[in-house]
């Protein structure tokens, strides 16, 4: 009986620690996105999370560890979301998968604006001052997005569904539009908060870059 109670206590401890960790990381993401790495203080993260600085050190570690974990989890979530969306449409033409990918990128960053600040808008760039592993994580997320888009553009070109231009240049141009659109969207205070509200952005990509003559269904 005592063994059972001990096991239950351990389970509760693990669950409580995970909850604290999630709360701390959520607060850290908010502060890092707002301040950038260099200007973020552990005290502000602690106040935002509702814990002491000492507790954050015991649960996650120093500021560097906190930032690294925020970048790692955010990057993993994005990569999984993109991979899952493309795999869902694996039997569809590349042009449809590409359109769905743009939609997923826009929706993901609309629902996670702090991650947009860190990964695409430049707030994470301050990480280079303390070590390459942080800037490498930021670049890794950008590279993941770039590779997904370029791969599908190349497939769509092989299907003669997009213009026969340099796929690298086309990828850069498409993602620059996405970046600018999300930045201005945030500055203006707009937020679709729902899948399917990104049609305007996708139309700009398709028609503005003349990738194809008609908008995908």
Which tens digit of pLDDT belongs to each residue from 39-72?
A: 889 999 999 999 999 999 998 988 988 998 998 8
Listed residue (71, 73, 77) closest to 134, CA to CA: 71
Q: Which CATH number fits domain 1-61: 3.30.450.20, 3.90.79.10, 1.10.10.10, 1.10.10.60?
A: 1.10.10.60
Q: Which CATH superfamily is domain 62-217 in?
A: Tetracycline Repressor, domain 2 (1.10.357.10)
What are the structural domain ranges in the chain? 1-61, 62-217
Residues 120-170 have pLDDT tens digits of 655 445 444 445 556 777 788 888 889 999 999 999 889 888 888 888 988
Distance CA 126, CA 139 (A): 13
Joined tokens for residue 94: 């590349």
User: pLDDT by residue (tens digit) across 89-108?
Assistant: 889 998 888 888 888 888 88
Kindly write down the DSSP assignment for every residue of 83-115, as one continuous string.
HHHHHHTTTS-HHHHHHHHHHHHHHHHHH-HHH
State both tokens at 54. Answer: 């000492």
Other beta carbons within 10 angstroms of residue 28's beta carbon come to: 25
């Amino acid at each position: 009986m005592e063994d059972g109670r001990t096991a239950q206590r351990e389970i509760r401890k693990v669950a409580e620690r995970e909850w604290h960790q999630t709360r701390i990381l959520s607060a850290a993401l908010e502060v890092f996105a707002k301040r950038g790495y260099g200007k973020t203080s552990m005290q502000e993260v602690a106040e935002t999370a509702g814990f002491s600085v000492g507790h954050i050190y015991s649960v996650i570690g120093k500021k560097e560890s906190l930032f690294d974990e925020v970048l790692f989890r955010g990057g993993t979530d994005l990569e999984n979301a993109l991979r899952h969306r493309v795999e869902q449409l694996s039997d569809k033409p590349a042009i449809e998968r590409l359109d769905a990918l743009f939609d997923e990128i826009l929706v993901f960053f609309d629902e996670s604006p702090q991650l947009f600040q860190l990964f695409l808008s430049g707030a994470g760039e301050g990480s280079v001052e303390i070590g390459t592993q942080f800037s490498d994580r930021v670049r890794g997320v950008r590279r993941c997005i770039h590779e997904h888009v370029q791969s599908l553009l190349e497939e769509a070109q092989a299907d003669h569904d997009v213009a026969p231009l340099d796929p690298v240049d086309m990828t850069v141009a498409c993602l620059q539009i996405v970046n600018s659109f999300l930045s201005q969207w945030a500055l203006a205070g707009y937020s679709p908060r729902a899948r399917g509200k990104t049609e305007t952005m996708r139309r700009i990509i398709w028609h503005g870059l003349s990738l194809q003559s008609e908008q995908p269904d």
